[in-house]
Amino acid sequence: MAPNDEFIREVDEEYRRDQIAQIWKRYNGIIIGVAILVVAAVGGWRYWEYYQETRSQAAALRYEDALRLSRDDKGKDAEGALESLAKEGDTGYGLLARFRLAAELGRENAENGASAYDALAKDGNLSPLWQDLARLRAAWLRIDSADPAKIRTDLERLAVPENPWRHSARELLGLSGLKSGDMDYAGRWFDQIAADHDTPSALKQRLAIYTALVAGGPVPVTQ
């Protein structure tokens, strides 16, 4: 390196050091304050992540305990555990608990369970996906008791091609036709199930039984 170049480099570095020293002398309080805020923000975020993870793990254990109670036929105890967890709606397990609680209620009384699903379907804080699932579950519980016309409105809206719950909705609509003796209505929905390439294999197996029932026509009721 030429002497002039070396001299210029040294002068340039000295100038930069002098500038940095002046900036530090003038703004050291602000720089330290910003550094403290950054450290505090990172620490706070890490604590929040840890807190959320701890809550989620605790909720998971409580949910598993509720399921165990249900499997052990301790329905009331399971309902109490699920109700407690459902009140903590800001966790994913809180939502799971609400759906499971509705299922538990439905085991004892179909209409009580359906009403619990109705409340989920009307909850504006839930995504449309979960609201639609609640409507579907309510219809399942009412299929044997309600007037078919009363459950078909929601189900027909769910049976459209772009809805992820369409397969179950179509099956229920077809079953409502079988139960009411309206074979044309039942056949229309079973045809849509057959034509959908994404129909689950288990439903395709049941479809063979459904189509046979449609072909056999209404079963006369004898006194």
Overall pTM surpassing 0.75 (yes/no): no
Q: What pLDDT score was predicted for residue 67?
A: 67
Token couple for 155: 């189900």
The per-residue pLDDT of the chain, averaged, comes to 79
Domain coordinates in residue numbering, the chain:
66-146, 148-216
Checking if the pLDDT of 117 tops 80, the result is yes
Give residue-wise pLDDT tens across range 186-206: 999 999 999 999 999 999 999
State pLDDT tens for residues 1-30.
555 555 456 545 655 666 666 666 776 667
Range 104-109, long-range pairs (CB < 8 A, 24+ positions): 104/70, 104/75, 104/78, 104/79, 105/79, 106/137, 106/141, 107/75, 108/75
Classify burial at 180, counting beta carbons within 10 Å of its beta carbon; exposed 0-12, middle 13-18, buried 19 or more.
Answer: middle
